[in-house]
Amino acid sequence: MLLLLSPGTGTGLLATRGLDRSRQGPPPGAASASAQPVAGDAVGSLAAPSRLGIPRVVFLPSGGGGDDLSEFDLPPAPREGEYGSALASPLAGEYADWGSLARLPPAQLRGSDLNELLQPDSVQRLRFVVSPMEAYGALFRWDTVFAGLRGLHAAAWAEDSDRTVGRRPEIAVTQVFRWQPALDDWGALSYEFCEALGRRFSSYAFEPRPGAVRLLTLLNEYQVPCCLCSELDERSLSDKVEAADMARFFQASICAEDGAETAEQAYLASCVKLRRPPARCVVFEDSPQGVSSAKEALAKAVALVGKHPAYEMMHADLRISSLEDLTLMAIRELFSGEEPR
């Protein structure tokens, strides 16, 4: 029950949440709908219901005027498309809830906080007893699933560097690359690189790496949620993943619109989208820096050897030469002795 008080007289009106006032008459002893408020009193009344069907409370100012209605201030709703809305409850736009921490920008997320926030509740614990692998999450960097993006970047930079052949270094730097303090010069170079990359990217058909389809099929069969992390924009990512017929394997994705500036931030934002604590997630990486970022996010790291030698990724929890070598039991053993709380 919601109690509405009249500050001027101390009287109260009772209203039930979600009450259909078109079907219910006024409570016994209450004034009729046509009664006018007394001058000098501030009368509480119900405004139009919110989008959840919960009545809002407004106050009529003294004097009985109804032009300056002001609603109670409510916490702002998360922005449309914001990554944190994945954890927002139905009341998140109007009330502070337990997921408020998860709606922070990626730069403000901390692995230790998410480990506490994203712990399974009692219902989830019972479900994880039946399906143990569902308690974990798998985070994939783009380059560990699809091959070719790094080559596109190298070719785009090579297009600019080819223009420096036969020129003295100082001429190449100042007249070709236009490396000047002025921001306009840097913007022009960036624009030319993006144009060169865009021409190649639009016509390139990405193919999954060997073993990627088998591993993702196995993870989906055992209901392990998967997230694809990339610096691409959302439209480019979705178009290329769908063209490769791989969209069905990923329950979430991290793209440029999510605002993650580092790999660690991307992994923490992925945990929020999958609703799994970082300590229960495994990251698939192919670079030493990426493995370090996964460890800083308090997640497990599986290193894909190839682009970098194995000795440069000694800090990974597991090193493999191909996704074909990975089994579900090997992933499960990464978390041995660490049962969900």
Note the pLDDT of residue 12: 40
Note the pLDDT of residue 215.
95
In a domain, 339, yes or no: no
Judgement on whether residues 170 and 68 belong to the same structural domain of the protein = no
- The SS3 assignment for 134 reads helix
Q: What angle do CA 42, 52, 2 make, to 5 degrees?
A: 40
Are residue 258 and residue 325 in the same domain, yes or no?
yes
In the prediction, which pLDDT does 168 show? 53
CA distance 234 to 228: 11
pLDDT at 143: 87
Distance CA 181, CA 333 (A): 52
* 194 occurs within a structural domain: yes
Give 295-320 pLDDT, tens digit per residue.
999 999 999 998 888 899 999 999 99
Q: What is the pLDDT of residue 225?
A: 94
Q: Are residues 292 and 143 in the same domain?
A: yes
What's residue 81's pLDDT?
44
Low-confidence residues of the chain: pLDDT under 70: 1-102, 151, 153, 156-190, 338-341
DSSP track, 240-282: HHHHTT-GGG-SEEE-GGG---SHHHHHHHHHHHHT--GGGEE
Q: Are residues 309 and 164 in the same domain?
A: no
Per-residue pLDDT tens digits for 97-120: 445 666 778 888 888 888 888 888
Question: Where is the domain boundary, 23, 57, 73?
Answer: 73
Which range marks the domain in which residue 177 is found?
150-203
- The pLDDT, as a whole number, for residue 56 is 42
Q: What is the pLDDT of residue 44?
A: 44
Q: DSSP code of 173?
A: I
Strands (E) located in the chain: 2-5, 12-15, 44-46, 57-59, 137-141, 146-147, 207-208, 226-229, 252-254, 281-285, 300-304, 318-320
Instruction: Report yes or no on 238 lying in a domain.
Output: yes
What span, in angstroms and rounded, lies between the C-alpha atoms of 233 and 207?
A: 19
Model confidence pLDDT, tens digit, residues 165-196 = 555 555 555 665 555 545 455 556 667 777 87
Strand partners, 137: 281
